[in-house]
Structure 1
Amino acid sequence: MTKKLEAYFKNEDDAETVHAELNRFNVSNVSVEEIPEGDERFLVPIFPINNSGSSGGGGLVAGLGEFGEPTQTDQRRHLLSFEIEEKDFQEALNIVKKSEGYIAKDS
């Protein structure tokens, strides 16, 4: 089964770099596009979570935490959208996080 992920980046190069890194997985319906001015979305960074008490180990989650709302200089104007196998989803989130990508708050 696949999961859809939409990640937002400061520039097209960052989005394309993540796209290239994701090619080692079975990804589909991949697109990179610029978000038009005036299209405001509430985006949040991705944080690691510690599930050391469970057998599942750690993972990643989107949330505000100490970062608060993104500032004007923090805007993400490029969207990378793709579908990925559920088993590879957490690793895809790691790649997005490493490249300072954000996801939508409701993801």
Structure 2
Amino acid sequence: MEHHLQAYFKTESDAESALASLQRCPIRDPRIDAIPDTDRNPFLLPALSFSSSSAPQTGVITDRDVISEADSSETFHYLIEFYVNESDREEVLSVLSKTEAHLDKEAYEKIINN
């Protein structure tokens, strides 16, 4: 099964750095887009790396930290979107967790529930 993922970034430089890191992963149709200026962004959470047990790996942000992060007033101006196979999802999330990537709430919940 293939998933469409979007990762949000504050700066174009952060997005470009993350995309360069993702190039070693088996992703399809990656692209960076600017997000139109709006008063607010979707509810975003830091990208975490999850093990097959759906628990954050050691050294990543905990749920408590995610809640405090989500309450901030940060604005994101760029996103990377791409497709990834289910079997490669953990590798991609591991790469994103080492960048400034944030995921929308729906993507975050899908990752936790899978």
TM-score between both structures, scaled by the size of structure 2: 0.71
Q: 1:24 to 1:66 in 2, by over 3 A?
A: closer
SS of the residue 1:66 aligns to: helix
Amino acid across the alignment from 1:71: S
Structure having the higher helix fraction is 2
Amino acid across the alignment from 1:79: L
Matching residue of 1:82: 82
Contact residue 43 and residue 70 of structure 1 kept, 8 A: no
**CA–CA distance in structure 1, aligned partners of residues 85 and 31 of structure 2:** 16
2:8 aligned with 1:8: yes
**CA–CA distance in structure 1, aligned partners of residues 3 and 56 of structure 2:** 15
SS of the residue 1:106 aligns to: helix
Contact residue 2 and residue 83 of structure 1 kept, 8 A: yes
RMSD: 2.7
Aligned pairs, how many? 101
**CA–CA distance in structure 2, aligned partners of residues 105 and 64 of structure 1:** 13
Matching residue of 1:42: 43
Matching residue of 2:64: 65
Instruction: Give me the identity figure in percent.
Output: 27
**CA–CA distance in structure 1, aligned partners of residues 19 and 103 of structure 2:** 15
Structure 1: runs of 5 or more not aligned: none
Q: 1:86 to 1:76 in 2, by over 3 A?
A: same
Q: 1:17 to 1:84 in 2, by over 3 A?
A: same
Per-residue CA distance 1:86-107 (angstroms, 9 max, x = gap): 2211111111111121000011
1:6 to partner: Cα distance = 0.5
Contact residue 63 and residue 105 of structure 1 kept, 8 A: no
1:60 to partner: Cα distance = 4.5
Amino acid across the alignment from 1:5: L
Structure 2: runs of 5 or more not aligned: 108-114
